[in-house]
DNA sequence: TCGTTATTTCTATAAATATAGAAATATGGA
DNA sequence: TCCATATTTCTATATTTATAGAAATAACGA
């Protein structure tokens, strides 16, 4: 991953409303939620929500899927995992490090 | 981790210069680097560097340690791992997910 | 087609952030 | 103490970003 991409992803997540949207979608799984549902749950105005969804979507952190009149957004687990890898890349000059045990990111392939 | 904290951490990393500083320190391991060395390596002006180090430091992403006239900064691996955990929390409503294999963040305890 | 609902774009305003020159502060050595 | 070096704070300027009302667009059902 390029630095520029990573900055875009981080900036997309570094905002209250967008982080809330993203986490809601992560928890929702691959099905995602329609724009209206997101707005209701998080109490965000239409225009504001649309603005933030575009940011997240441009960054590739969420994916859009049209179903009739509704647009469903869902988390893009791949993109997040790429970011996590980038942030911890080449840790400690390649010397052996104890892996941090508590973390096991998901790839969104729910069973 | 609170949402507010996560936003602060993400915002701290969501900037070219700061991301470069942070990654440089992650790669440097627990010893870290003095401010002057960081500035040299990344070609950043004094005032600018100081500004960004403060941001990262306030967020708790890096740690400062005085040694004589020098101040060494090093990555705070714990804080990063907390953030990674927060971002993937409660993935897919607790349904079983395939863990993403490629990621194994480090805790900074180099051997 | 027309009306209804879902979502986005337009627009303006308010607020936060990055940058670096110059001055100030701290530390250690002579 | 005085000097040299390391780092931070002060200051001003330029840029980016968040917000939401209102209007526009899109999709469906009657």
> B99 to chain A: which residues are within 8 Å by CB?
104-107
Instruction: Give the model confidence (pLDDT) of B76-93 as tens digits.
Output: 999 999 999 898 887 877
Higher pLDDT, B82 or B111: B82
Bigger pLDDT: B60 vs A104: B60
For domain A3-88, say whether CATH 1.10.10.10 is its number: yes
What is the structure's pLDDT at A10? 97
Q: Which residue of A has its CA nearest to B106?
A: A99
Q: Which nucleotide is nearest to A11 (CA to C1')?
A: D17
For B59, which DSSP code?
A: T
Mean pLDDT of B41-66: 96
Q: What is the mean pLDDT of residues B42-63?
A: 96
Q: What is the mean pLDDT of residues B23-37?
A: 95
Domain ranges of chain A: 3-88
Q: Are A69 and A36 in contact (CB under 8 A)?
A: no
Q: What is the pLDDT of residue A101?
A: 62
Q: Which residues of B29-40 are buried (b: 16+ CB within 10 A; e: fewer)?
A: bbebbbbeebbe
- Quote the pLDDT of residue A92: 80
- Three-class HEC string of A35-103: HHHHHHHHCCCHHHHHHHHHHHHHHCCEEEEEECCEEEEEECHHHHHHHHHHHCCCHHHHCCEEECCCC
Give the closest-approach CA distance of B43 to chain A in angstroms.
16
Which tokens is A71 given? 């647009």
Asked whether the predicted pLDDT for residue B35 surpasses 80, the reply is yes
Interchain pair A91, B23: CB under 8 A = no
**What is the bridge-based pairing of β-strands B70-75 and B33-34?**
antiparallel
End-to-end CA distance of chain B: give it in Å, rounded.
28
Give me the mean pLDDT over the B62-84 stretch: 94
pLDDT of residue A111: 52
| pLDDT tens digits, one per residue of A89-99 | 878 877 777 77
Segment among A39-43, A51-55, A98-102, B63-67 with least mean pLDDT: A98-102
Q: How is B80-109 classified by DSSP, letter by letter?
A: HHHHHHHHTTTGGGG--EEEPTT---EEEE
A64: tokens are: 């859009």
Contact between chains at B84 and A103 (C-beta distance less than 8 A): yes
């Amino acid at each position: 991953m390029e630095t520029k991409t990573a900055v875009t992803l981080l900036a997309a997540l570094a905002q209250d409303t967008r982080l809330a949207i993203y986490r809601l979608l992560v928890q929702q799984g691959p099905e995602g939620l329609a724009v209206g549902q997101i707005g209701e749950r998080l109490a965000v105005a239409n225009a504001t929500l649309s603005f933030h969804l575009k940011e997240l979507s441009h960054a590739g952190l969420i994916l859009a899927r049209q179903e009739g009149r509704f647009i469903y957004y869902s988390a893009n687990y791949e993109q997040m995992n790429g970011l996590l890898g980038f942030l911890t890349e080449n840790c400690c000059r390649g010397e052996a490090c104890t892996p941090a045990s508590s973390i096991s990111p998901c790839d969104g392939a729910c069973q």
